[in-house]
A and B are shown apart, each in its own frame.
Chain A
Amino acid sequence: MNRGYLVVATLSKPFYDAAIMAIESLKDEVPNAKVAFYTHEEWIEDRHRHLFDHLTTPVPVHCRTKLWALPLSPFDQTIYLDADIMVLSDEIEEVWDHLGNHDVVMSENRPYNAKVVYFTHDDQVGPGIPGRELEHYNEDHIKLYREGKAHKFRWHCGMFAWNKNERTQKLWEDWMYWYKRHTVEKNTKPFPKKLAFWDTFAFWRALYENPDNNVDIVRLPNDAKYNFVTGYREAELRAGHEKAVLHYTIPPDLSERGNLFKDATDIDAAYGSFKHFK
């Protein structure tokens, strides 16, 4: 069984720079780690080529090219890493043990550190009441969730591991289907329009709409250790554990400046396009 890490950097150049730092950090900590990298040919520098064990170009110029890349993973077991992470210890390799025979292992969103976690769909709270995003700090909103009148994005989609099988391949296909439905067809009904941008929403929906897929998806034990997102409380880490993966965010002004479609008139630069390959 072969296993490796999958990293994607597309649409905006700073994501490539970040991905290089991420892969270098991984290879510093886990020198024999195998990396499959998906990016645009024009960004690749020769001095970086030694970092990639599998390099795929051209790829869609889109901010969510990862959805396109996931089913193409060359590995039987894969850990997906967002480009804006730093591997801080070889304990990232513990994720393989946690994955075991599960289909997918993921970390959970922390509502206090996420832009959107709770939301409702049209008519869920009452007839004629449109779906909306909810606030984690609003007691009434949390009450709705507890009463089963709201939904929650449970899974953080910036770092996860999976076994390649029929169920996970179907899950990636569904994820892409719902993401395109939300962003290309611009149809989020009966859910709020504002959720469209978030791939966590499409992922949640892929699971919500396909319960028969029976994906065995579990939470990584001590998940903050493997995906410690900037803004998390240090107390999220269990005593005696250090962060194995730090997940920061690329400054938005940088990613806007480096966007390949920043001057395009027919393409929304915030998303990019699944039809354009580079």
Chain B
Amino acid sequence: MEDVKYAKVPTGMTIDKPSEEPQQEKRTTKEKPLSIKDFDIDPGLPVIQYPHYTNNARSELGCLLIRPDGMVVQEKGIKADKNNPLFRDILAQFTEAEIDTNTKREIQIASSRDKAMQSIKEDEEREKTRHELWEVKSSFMDLDVVKNSDEKLLKRQIRKATNYFEAFAYGVAVIVKESEKNKSE
């Protein structure tokens, strides 16, 4: 055992006890990992992945099946019936919590996809409307009867129109006015 050595501190000097080093904040997570069932598999059968419910009644499921040759098949309409061998295998390999998590993820994917598709659809519809408006305005404005008409206000309304029917109606109005003028001449 080593001898303990002491040193005398000069008068008037103090040595502060070093403050304790801050403990590293422990990483905490509220979400606990899902537990995994202990199970055996038959190597000749496809591996089941990502089972999830596909209806609110939880009477049907879907999953991915990875075949031994690597081919992946999407399986749908699996009856939640213990007489169904695939459902039995799912229950043997996955906890209800795992299936629920997959189902929630599937709902989130579907909802995000719907949102994206809605946005694409809106863009397409806006473009279609713009296209139709352009077509009707340019078609009327290219007609000699409209081009040569002095119905300035009506022609302005065609140009100003913000939808197909408005442009169409003012286009027809110019033609009617011009035709009335021709009759009276």
Are the C-beta atoms of A88 and B159 separated by less than 8 Å?
yes
List the B residue with the shortest CB-CB distance to A86. B159
Are the C-beta atoms of A254 and B131 separated by less than 8 Å?
yes
A211-256 interface with B by 8 A CB criterion? 230, 243, 246, 248-254
How many A residues, CB 8 Å from partner? 21
B7-60 interface with A by 8 A CB criterion? none
Stretch at the interface among B63-71, B94-102, B104-112, B133-141: B133-141
Contact with B along A3-46 (1 / 0, CB 8 A): 00000000000000110010011001100000000000000000
B152 near A: Cβ within 8 Å? yes
A76-111 interface with B by 8 A CB criterion? 86-89
Residues in A neighbouring B133, C-beta threshold 8 A: 248
Contact with A along B113-147 (1 / 0, CB 8 A): 00000000000000100110110011001000001
Complexed CA–CA distance, A86 and B159 (Å): 6
The B interface, classified by DSSP as helix, strand, loop or mixed, is: helix
Are the C-beta atoms of A25 and B159 separated by less than 8 Å?
yes
Q: Which of A21, A246, A253 contacts B160 (CB 8 A)?
A: A246
Are the C-beta atoms of B131 and A21 separated by less than 8 Å?
no
Complexed CA–CA distance, A237 and B172 (Å): 29
Complexed CA–CA distance, A246 and B157 (Å): 12
Complexed CA–CA distance, A251 and B137 (Å): 13
B5 near A: Cβ within 8 Å? no
Q: Which of B134, B155, B160 contacts A28 (CB 8 A)?
A: B155
Are the C-beta atoms of A250 and B134 separated by less than 8 Å?
yes
Contact with B along A118-140 (1 / 0, CB 8 A): 00000000000000000000000
Are the C-beta atoms of B141 and A24 separated by less than 8 Å?
yes
B82 near A: Cβ within 8 Å? no
Complexed CA–CA distance, A246 and B127 (Å): 18
Residues in B neighbouring A29, C-beta threshold 8 A: 152, 156
A28 touching B152 in the complex, CB below 8 Å, given contacts A21-B137, A246-B160: yes
Are the C-beta atoms of B147 and A24 separated by less than 8 Å?
yes
Complexed CA–CA distance, A252 and B127 (Å): 8
Are the C-beta atoms of A251 and B130 separated by less than 8 Å?
yes
Are the C-beta atoms of A17 and B138 separated by less than 8 Å?
yes
Are the C-beta atoms of A248 and B160 separated by less than 8 Å?
no
Complexed CA–CA distance, A18 and B160 (Å): 14
Shortest beta-carbon distance from A32 to chain B in Å: 15
Residues in A neighbouring B147, C-beta threshold 8 A: 24
Are the C-beta atoms of B138 and A251 separated by less than 8 Å?
no
Residues in A neighbouring B152, C-beta threshold 8 A: 28-29
Q: Please give the residue numbers on chain A whose beta carbons come within 8 Å of chain B beta carbons, in ascending order.
A: 17-18, 21, 24-25, 28-29, 86-89, 230, 243, 246, 248-254
With A21-B159, A252-B127 known, 10 other A-B pairs at CB within 8 A are A17-B138, A21-B137, A21-B138, A21-B141, A24-B141, A28-B155, A248-B133, A248-B134, A251-B130, A254-B131
**Interface pairs (28), CB distance under 8 Å:** A17-B138, A18-B138, A21-B137, A21-B159, A24-B147, A25-B155, A25-B159, A28-B155, A29-B152, A29-B156, A86-B160, A88-B156, A88-B159, A88-B160, A230-B130, A243-B160, A246-B159, A246-B160, A248-B130, A248-B133, A251-B127, A251-B130, A251-B131, A252-B127, A253-B127, A253-B131, A254-B131, A254-B134
